[in-house]
Chains A and B, each alone.
Chain A
Amino acid sequence: ETGVTQTPRHLVMGMTNKKSLKCEQHLGHNAMYWYKQSAKKPLELMFVYSLEERVENNSVPSRFSPECPNSSHLFLHLHTLQPEDSALYLCASSRDPTSSYEQYFGPGTRLTVT
């Protein structure tokens, strides 16, 4: 898991707070992803970046705002979240977003919204 790192690993925030999740990949990949993992549900793809350009936004509420300043770093800015947003947020990277390359995942940030 040293290929993709995420900070913080755990985050508790109130509904009026603003916080950011950070992801960094050390694999030289061109694509980065944010996923939401909730109990008993399939992984939900939130955002895809390819060469620092957002190429997919899966109808995610505007209270989630991604940022990709370079190909190695990805952020997820959070504001005015709801309790149902509590989940494990996973970052991933791959060599290319459209082909057969597998994705490499970070350990995730466990988010609790109170």
Chain B
Amino acid sequence: AQSVAQPEDQVNVAEGNPLTVKCTYSVSGNPYLFWYVQYPNRGLQFLLKYITGDNLVKGSYGFEAEFNKSQTSFHLKKPSALVSDSALYFCAVRDILAGAGSYQLTFGKGTKLSVIP
């Protein structure tokens, strides 16, 4: 079984400050991990993913995420927040061991990020 948790429903940060959106996961084997962003009245937009290799993954719009296997976390970060970053952020996981018969990408409930001018 695979699951993902986003412990914060909302994160508020001042413009220009660093931001972190938290994600923890649970899988039987090794994970594929993804971050998506959703702006109002829009679909989800892919930001970045971790498959293997370097634990620090860089993605779109200056976002990055760090894979931490011991803490089973994949937190999303950005050094300097912009007002335009305000949106809903989703973490998602797929268990590599799930194999060819599993098509489920499990999403978290989402974290609303508000960047205050």
A40 touches B105 (CB 8 A): no
B contact residues around A41 at 8 Å (CB):
109
B22 interface hit (Cβ, 8 Å): no
Minimum distance in angstroms from B28 CB to a CB of chain A? 16
Residue numbers in B under 8 Å from A48 (CB-CB): 103
Tell me the residues in window 33-54 of chain B with beta carbons closer than 8 Å to chain A beta carbons: 34, 36, 41-46, 49, 51
Given A42-B106, A98-B101, A98-B103; 18 other pairs, CB 8 A cutoff: A1-B43, A1-B45, A4-B43, A31-B103, A40-B109, A42-B109, A43-B44, A43-B107, A45-B103, A50-B103, A92-B43, A98-B100, A100-B49, A102-B34, A102-B46, A103-B105, A105-B43, A105-B44
Taking a contact as CB atoms under 8 Å apart, the answer to whether B32 and A100 are in contact is yes
**Complex interface: chain B residues within 8 A of A105 (CB):** 36, 43-45
Name the B residues within 8 Å of A1 (CB-CB): 42-43, 45
Question: A43 contacts which chain B residues (CB < 8 A)?
Answer: 44, 90, 107
Residues of B within 8 A of A (CB): 32, 34, 36, 41-46, 49, 51, 90, 94, 99-110
| A106 proximal to B (CB < 8 A) | yes
A81 touches B (CB below 8 Å): no
A97 in contact with B43 (CB, 8 Å): no
Interface of A toward B, CB cutoff 8 Å: 1, 4, 6, 31, 40-43, 45, 48, 50, 55-56, 90, 92, 97-98, 100, 102-108, 110
Find out whether the CB atom of A98 lies under 8 angstroms from the CB atom of B43: no
User: Considering the chains assembled together, what is the distance between the CA atoms of A1 and B41 in angstroms?
Assistant: 12
| Inter-subunit contact A107/B102 (CB<8 Å) | no
Q: Chain A residues near B49 (CB, 8 Å)?
A: 100, 102
In the complex, are the beta carbons of B43 and A42 less than 8 A apart?
no
Residues of chain A contacted by B44 (CB below 8 angstroms): 43, 90, 92, 103, 105
Q: How far apart sit A105 and B45, CA to CA, in the bound complex (Å)?
A: 7
Q: Which residue of A lies closest to B45 (CB)?
A: A105
**Chain B hits for A102, CB < 8 A:** 34, 46, 49
Shortest CB-to-CB span from B109 to chain A, Å, is: 5
Q: How far is the CB of B31 from chain A (nearest CB, A)?
A: 10
Q: Which residue of B lies closest to A104 (CB)?
A: B46
